Amino acid sequence: MKIDQETIKKIAHLARLEFDENSAEKLSKDMSQILDWVEKLNELDTDSVAPLTTMSSEVNDMREDKVGTHLDHEAGLKNAPKRDADYFRVPKVLE
């Protein structure tokens, strides 16, 4: 699959990238090679292959959920540096 200069410019605009014409030409060749390689994967018969859901073979070791004691509202706010009635007070982070 051939990637033309217009497609490269559109992708660059969407990705907020800037590069010169020489880099655009090299990028066009590289992307075409990548897409050609990916296209070769379509030639493989994957009907008998189970879908992959994770890249790791590790299994999460999770504990059993148990109902236990928890902090009441007042105890949770007891050590708060600043509080406002029933809530924590934190510095404003958005203007």
pLDDT-based confidence at 33, cuts 50/70/90? very high
Dihedral angle, C-alpha 69, 75, 79, 85, nearest 10 °: 140
d(CA 3, CA 11): 11
Interacting residues of 39 by C-beta distance below 8 A, sequence separation 6+: 1
| Phi/psi-derived region of residue 30, left when phi > 0, alpha when psi is between -120 and 50, beta in every other case | alpha
* Domains identified in the chain and CATH numbers: 5-41 (1.10.20)
Nearest to 19 by CA among 9, 29, 10: 9
What average pLDDT does the structure give for the chain? 88
Rounded Cα distance, 23 and 7, in Å: 14
Instruction: Return the pLDDT at 46.
Output: 86
Question: What are 40-83's pLDDT values in tens digits?
Answer: 988 888 889 888 888 888 888 899 999 999 888 888 898 899 98
pTM: 0.46
